[in-house]
Structure 1
Amino acid sequence: MTVSEDPYLTSLKADGFVVVRNVVSGDALKALQEAAIRTANKARAGDWPHVRTVGKQFPPWDRWDRAAAEKAKASNGVDQPGIWGVQHLMRPEMGAQDAGIFTQSYFAQDGVLDVAKRVLACSDDDLVMELYNMLVRPDYKDYELRWHRDDIGPDATPAEEMERLQAPAFHAQWNLALWDDASLIVVPGSHKRARTEGERAADPYQATLPCDEAAGHRPQLTVQLGPGDAVFYNNNILHRGVYQTAVERTTLHGSVGHVGGNALRARNVLQHGVGDWVERCDFSVLTETERARAEGMRARLIKMGRESGPVGYSLKD
C-alpha cells in the first residue's frame, strides 16, 4: 500500500510555508492573549531584559531601558527605538503564571508540536526543544525587516545559496497569531532556488521585489492570519516582516528541531542564548505525557549545546 505524503508537508515543500488554521482556540487562546498582554507590557516598561530592539534585526540585542529612553527624549526630542519582540517566553524569571502558560502552549498535545511532527515527518523522540519568542508592535516608529533568509547571508553566491538550500531543513518554524496578523511577507518557492539577479540588486527594504514570472517564479505575498492561526515556514525562504505602530501585533514565534540536524541547527538556535536557562525550565504545568515529551526534547537540546561549542551568530545587521 502506498502511503500518501502529509498535505502540510506537501505544501511546505512546494511553497516554503503552510498556513494552519485554529491551532489554538477557546480558553487556551484567551489565556495566551492575556499572558501576552502582560508580557508585552512588562517588556515595554523595561522590566524584561530579553527583547528585540527596533533598528537591529538579528541577535544579540541590547536591553531596552524605557526610563533612560524617555529621559533622552525629554533632553533632545528624539524618539528612542523601543522594541519589536520579546525573547525567552519560557524562562523561569518570566514568572510562574505566564511562563507556565507559554510552556503549556509550546508542548501541548494537539498543538504546534503535533503540526511540526507532520511537516518534519517524525515522532516525539526526534524533536529538539528550540525557541519560543513573541513579536510585537513597536511603540515609537514603524519598523521593517530587510529581505533575508535566516541562516544564509546576503553576500552568499548563487552556488553557496543552493548548497545551503538543498541541505535538509531539520527544523520547523512558525508564527502563531494571537490576534489578526498580516506582517509576514514571503516569496513562495524561494526556499528552493537562489535569488535572481533582480532580487540581488533590489534594495533590501524594497516593498515589492521583482518577479521573474517567465522563469516560473511566483510573486511575493502577505500571509494573512487570524487569532489562533499559525504559519509554518522554512526559515530560509526569502521573507521579511513589517511592523507598524498603528497596527497591533502579538504573535508567538517558535521553532523546533529534528535530532538529525543538530550540527546544522546549533548556531541558529544557540545564538539566542536559550542555553543559559533551559535546564531550569519548569515543566510542572504539563500533563504526564506532555512532560515526558518536554524532558526528552530538553535533553536533546542540552546535548546539542554541549557538543557544538561556541557557535557565534548567523547574520549581522
Structure 2
Amino acid sequence: MPTSPLRAELATQGFTIQRAILGPSELSALREAAARTTARARSGRWPDVRTVGKQFPPWPKPKPDADTDTHVPIWGVQGLLNRDLGPEAAVFARAYFGDAVLGVARELLGADDDGGAGDGKGIGECRDEDLVMELFNMLVRPDTDFELEWHRDDVPRSASVEEECARLGIPLSVLRTEDPSQSQEKGEKRKRDFHTQYNLALYPDSSLIVIPGSHARPRTEAERVPDPYAPALPGQLVVYLEPGDIVFYDNNILHRGVYDCTKERMSLHGSVGHVGGARARARNVLQHGVGGWVDQCDFAALGGGEDGRIRRRAEGMRDRLVKLGRESGDVGFSLTG
C-alpha cells in the first residue's frame, strides 16, 4: 500500500478531501471570473458548454440569434484555459497551475513502487516535468434540477464484469473473491493511475455522490441496477465541500451528480496527468475537444517573478499535452448519452 497518507486514502476510498486550500483573495478572484464566464456561457457567447439534457461529450454548440436574447440551459462550462476566453483564462490558469492544487496532485501522482508494471518507470516523487495539462472546466447551477446517472468516467454501463476488471486494471482473481471490495486487503495490486481528477468548490457544494472503494472492484449486483438514476445505492456517500475545499477522486469510482437549481454552484472541475499515462489518458482528455485549441494556449499573462515559475510549469504541461494529442490521433468517446 502507498506510504503517503493522501495516496493511501485515494487508493482505499477512491477520493480524498483537502479543506480550505484557497485564501480569501484567491477565492474572491475566482468567483468573479467564474461569474463572468458563466454569464457569458448562458448568453451563448461562449460555445464550449455542457448543456442540460446531455451528460457526456460531445455537447452541441449553441447558436445565438443576433436579433433576440439567447439563454442557453447549461450545467457546465468547458475550456477555462482556452485563450479565447480572454482575461478570465489567466485567472483560471493561476488556479490550475498553482501550488495549492498541483502540490496535492503531485503527491497523489507519486509512487512507492512501479505499480505492478515491472519496468520501474515513475518510481518516487512526481516532479513538474512529469505533469501533463489535462482538463479544466466548471460545473454550474442549472436552470432546472438535473441529475447524472451512476457511472464511471471511462467504463460504459454495458461492460461485463470481466471488461470492468480490464478497464480498472484489476486482476481477474478478484472475481473469485467472495467480497470483491476486500480485494486490496487481500494483497491484490491494481495498475498505477497516471492521473488525478478533482472538484474545487467556490460555493458550498454537495452535488457529488460516490460509492467509496468502488474504483477498485467491479460493480456488485446491487450496483448493476436497471435504473441508472437510482436515488440510493448501498454505501453511497454525499461529498460535502465548503468554499475553497477540494476533493480529488479516481474518475472510475462509481459516482453521480445531483444538481439543485435553487443553490448556487460554481465548482472548478479539473484533471492532471502524469507522463507515464501516455496514450491511456488520451481518450479521457481529448474527447472534450481541447486538441482544437491547446497548442494556442498563451500563459504570458502569468508574468515573471514567482509567477514566472508557474508560467514555465504551465508551458511545459501544455507542451506535453500537445505531444500526446499528436501521437494519439482519433480517440473517440468514453461514454454516450
Using the alignment, how far apart are the partners of 1:66 and 1:228 within structure 2? 34
Match of 1:240 among 230, 253, 256: 256
Using the alignment, how far apart are the partners of 1:66 and 1:199 within structure 2? 41
Using the alignment, how far apart are the partners of 2:63 and 2:78 within structure 1? 15
Alignment of 1:98-117 (within 5 A): 98-108=88-98, 110-117=99-106
Match of 2:154 among 148, 151, 155: 151
1:293 aligns with 2:283: no
Aligned residue for 1:245, secondary structure, equals coil
What residue number does 1:216 align with? none
Match of 1:82 among 64, 68, 73: 73
Q: Is the contact between residue 100 and residue 282 of structure 1 (CA under 8 Å) also seen in structure 2?
A: no
Using the alignment, how far apart are the partners of 2:18 and 2:199 within structure 1? 10
Match of 1:271 among 257, 266, 287: 287
Alignment of 1:1-317 (within 5 A): 5-65=3-63, 82-95=73-86, 97-108=87-98, 110-121=99-110, 122-139=126-143, 141-166=144-169, 167-209=191-233, 211=234, 219-286=235-302, 287-317=307-337
Using the alignment, how far apart are the partners of 1:48 and 1:81 within structure 2? 10
Using the alignment, how far apart are the partners of 2:72 and 2:329 within structure 1? 33
Identity level (%)? 57
- Following TM superposition, the consecutive aligned residue runs of length 4 or more in structure 1 with deviations greater than 4 angstroms are 65-68
Quote the offset at 1:54 in angstroms: 0.6
User: What whole-Å deviation, never above 9, does each CA across 1:252-307 have from its counterpart, x for those lacking one?
Assistant: 00001110111110011001111111122121232121122112111110111111
**Structure 2 segments unaligned to the other structure (5+ residues):** 111-125, 170-190
Instruction: Please give the TM-score of this superposition, normalised by the length of structure 1.
Output: 0.90
Using the alignment, how far apart are the partners of 2:88 and 2:76 within structure 1? 16
Q: Is the contact between residue 89 and residue 133 of structure 1 (CA under 8 Å) also seen in structure 2?
A: yes
The size of the alignment, in residue pairs, is 296
Using the alignment, how far apart are the partners of 2:247 and 2:325 within structure 1? 27
Aligned residue for 1:39, secondary structure, equals helix
User: What whole-Å deviation, never above 9, does each CA across 1:135-174 have from its counterpart, x for those lacking one?
Assistant: 00011x2110000000000011111111221233210100
**Structure 1 segments unaligned to the other structure (5+ residues):** 73-79, 212-218
Q: Is the contact between residue 162 and residue 193 of structure 1 (CA under 8 Å) also seen in structure 2?
A: yes
Using the alignment, how far apart are the partners of 2:145 and 2:72 within structure 1? 10
Using the alignment, how far apart are the partners of 2:49 and 2:21 within structure 1? 26
Q: Is the contact between residue 186 and residue 237 of structure 1 (CA under 8 Å) also seen in structure 2?
A: yes
Cα distance 1:23–1:71, how it changes in 2: closer, same or farther (>3 A)?
closer
What residue number does 1:214 align with? none
Cα distance 1:185–1:58, how it changes in 2: closer, same or farther (>3 A)?
same
Q: Is the contact between residue 173 and residue 254 of structure 1 (CA under 8 Å) also seen in structure 2?
A: yes
User: What whole-Å deviation, never above 9, does each CA across 1:171-199 have from its counterpart, x for those lacking one?
Assistant: 01000000100000000000011001121
Q: Is the contact between residue 64 and residue 82 of structure 1 (CA under 8 Å) also seen in structure 2?
A: no
Q: Name the aligned partner's letter for residue 181 of structure 1.
A: D
Aligned residue for 2:156, secondary structure, equals coil
Quote the offset at 1:114 in angstroms: 1.2
Q: Is the contact between residue 92 and residue 280 of structure 1 (CA under 8 Å) also seen in structure 2?
A: yes
Q: Name the aligned partner's letter for residue 29 of structure 1.
A: L
Q: Is the contact between residue 41 and residue 72 of structure 2 (CA under 8 Å) also seen in structure 1?
A: no
Q: Name the aligned partner's letter for residue 83 of structure 1.
A: I
Q: Name the aligned partner's letter for residue 224 of structure 1.
A: Y
Quote the offset at 1:236 in angstroms: 0.1
RMSD: 1.8
Q: Name the aligned partner's letter for residue 41 of structure 2.
A: A
